[in-house]
A and B are shown apart, each in its own frame.
Chain A
Amino acid sequence: MSRRSLRGKVAVVGIGETTYYRHGKSPDPEFVLALKAILAACEDAGIEPHEIDGFASYSNDRNDPSRIAAALGLPALRFSNMQWGGGGGGGSGAVANASAAVACGIADCVVVFRALAQGQFQRFGAAAPGGTAAGEPAYNAPYGVMSPAQRYAMRAMRFLHENRIGPGAQRAIALASYHHAQNNPRAVMHGRPLDEETYDSSRWIVEPWRLFDCCQENDGAAALVIVPAERARNFKNKPAYLVGATLGSEHRNAARVHNAPLYATSSFTTVAPQLYEMAGVKPKDIDVVQSYENFTGGVLMSLVEHGFFKAEEANDFLKLENLLAPSGKLPLNTSGGNLAECYMHGLELQLEAVRQLRGASTAQVRDAKLSMVISGPMVTPVSSMILGTEETVQ
């Protein structure tokens, strides 16, 4: 493994988001959402938008950086990057790509963003009617395996089976997100608490996942600003330094028709060890984790693969009290995450990781110094990252 590293080379100095809406409810077109989030991140950093010289995003975001650069009248565009494949698995990957560009001098001030208006465009969770299916979909869609939940449920089902994990483990993950969202006025599910009985009696979407195991679909946009570490102190808010960021997936993860050799994984078995190697820290050093919930079973596997507990310990570890800020063993999804804050395709998790280091979360972990984000379990490529306070990269 390479000793070359992004550790301590760059920092996140600005974060911004739009109002988060239920899907189809944004009064603004998607491009306007993107612009508003980017301007909010500039405001938070205390910079003029003209200082931006690059953009990175993921999952084929429809808002082309060249159009944004023209719309904002940027003097020059120096970096325009799309993380290939993997949907929400690209969230931390986009941060890694932007960070690499800044660290290596391709650009000086790169914005990572994601914007979604699922009313203006098609929803993720609905299949298009009729027609033909070729390639991978030909082996899935005619059998009624179409949506992301249907596509990934069998990975989780196998993992739950192999490790004898009961339904309480997934439930605790859902309850933690909803619990934290009740403190967060940005959260779409703010004011809508979830209890065990409501979870247990909710309808199946696809076994082993009930309604509350599945992410929302939302409209909105989020953005963050990345600059070189040597400039990081010159901004309005406390910087969040990049301690590590990695992306990818294990051997033949994308083998077609569900033939990945290690099928029952969240795809992090090689990515997570590389992250810790780059960061020079261990799982026990991490103070707070934001872990992308497409589905709770994916979070469960992500936490195992990032070394927070062993698969056979999942039933004991995944209890609600262990997952709550301020003082649980592993405070998880402290803004409400994809389940209960907003499905901003996971980028809201990066913003929350920064807030934890600033001491500005609505579910603050005391004296948080190392803040992790895990992006997009079960897809490929996936990605994850660790941010830290200045002392963690000295």
Chain B
Amino acid sequence: MSAATYLPAGLPIPVPENDGLDKPYWEGTRRGELKVQRCKACKTWQWGPEWICHKCLSFDLDWVEVEGKGRIYSWERPWHPVHPALKGHGPYIAVLVELPAAGNVRMLGNLVGDPRQEVRIGAEVEAVFEPHDDARPPFTLVHWKVK
């Protein structure tokens, strides 16, 4: 499986919070859906997940599927491995992507492709779902690729 994934196997496995807050997000990624919170009362987009709308303080939040299209807001290229699974792996890129269609909320993922590629803030990117079906429990990550 590791050959098909951007980073080697052995990194921490993401699981929903034990109070259930972000379960809809992680379940959505398994189906290839990118879900973001939106307040039913005032329509404010909200990410990361929280139990209350930061704008109008309503607890009635919806999980809305959004198109996996955004632009790079910031990025970094880690070289020094801080986790045993990354020893000897070499550099990789993490990007912060803002989603204009969802109130410019930001999501974090890896930028697929050459890990030494030049990265341009503002570049248009689209989501790439990376299932880890053999993990226990299984999960799906959301990466980004330059359009």
B138 within 8 Å of A (CB atoms): no
State which of A142, A149, A153 has its C-beta within 8 Å of the C-beta of B14: A142
Other-chain contact of B12, A125, A130, A147, A264 (Cβ < 8 Å):
A130
Check if A134 sits within 8 Å of B121, measured CB to CB: no
Q: Is B2 among interface residues, defined by CB-CB distance under 8 A?
A: no
State the CA gap A203–B96 with chains docked (Å): 23
Rounded to whole Å, the gap between the CB of B86 and the closest CB of chain A is: 6
CB distance from A130 to the nearest CB of B (A): 7
Q: How many residues of B contact A (CB 8 A)?
A: 44
Least Cβ–Cβ distance between A30 and chain B, in angstroms: 22
Which residues on A sit within 8 Å (CB–CB) of B22?
135, 138
Chain B 68-108 against A: per-residue CB contact (8 Å), 1 yes, 0 no?
Answer: 00000111111110111110000110101000000001111
- Whether A142 pairs with B78 at a CB distance below 8 angstroms is no
Output the nearest chain A residue to B77 by Cβ-Cβ distance.
A207
In the complex, B11 has a CB within 8 A of chain A: yes
CB pair A127 B83 closer than 8 Å: yes
Task: Return the chain B residue nearest A147 by Cβ.
Answer: B82
Q: Judging by beta carbons under 8 Å apart, are A154 and B11 in contact?
A: no
Contacting pair A127 B7 (CB below 8 A): no
- Complex Cα–Cα for A39 and B78 (A): 42
Across the interface, B82 reaches (CB within 8 A) one of A150, A157, A256, A258, namely: A150
Q: Is the Cβ of B83 less than 8 Å from the Cβ of A146?
A: yes
**Which chain A residues lie closer than 8 Å to B73 at the CB level?**
158, 263
Check A360 for interface membership: any CB of B closer than 8 A: no
Query: Are B48 and A139 interface neighbours, CB within 8 A?
Result: yes
Min CB–CB distance B122 → chain A (angstroms): 9
- The answer to whether A154 touches B83 (Cβ under 8 A) is no
B residues near A135, Cβ cutoff 8 Å: 17, 22
Q: Contact: B10 with A142, CB < 8 Å? A: no
Q: Which residues of B contact A161 (CB under 8 A)?
A: 74, 121
Flag if B109 contacts A143 (CB, 8 Å). Answer: yes
Which residue of chain A has the shortest Cβ distance to B143 in the bound complex?
A143
Are the CB atoms of A134 and B15 closer together than 8 Å?
yes
Q: Encode contact with B along A143-164: 1 for CB under 8 Å, 0 otherwise.
A: 1111101100111011001000
Question: A155, B12: Cβ atoms under 8 Å?
Answer: no
Known A132-B13, A144-B11; contact A154-B94, beta-carbon cutoff 8 A: yes
Contact B74 A206 (CB under 8 A): no
CB distance from A129 to the nearest CB of B (A): 5
Return the chain A residue nearest B48 by Cβ. A256
Given known A134-B18, A147-B82, A256-B49, contact A154–B12 (CB-CB < 8 A): no
Can you list 8 A-B pairs with a CB-CB distance of less than 8 A?
Answer: A141-B12, A143-B108, A144-B83, A145-B108, A158-B73, A204-B80, A256-B50, A257-B106
Q: Please give the residue numbers on chain A whose beta carbons come within 8 Å of chain B beta carbons, in ascending order.
A: 125-127, 129-147, 149-150, 153-155, 157-158, 161, 203-208, 252, 255-259, 263-264
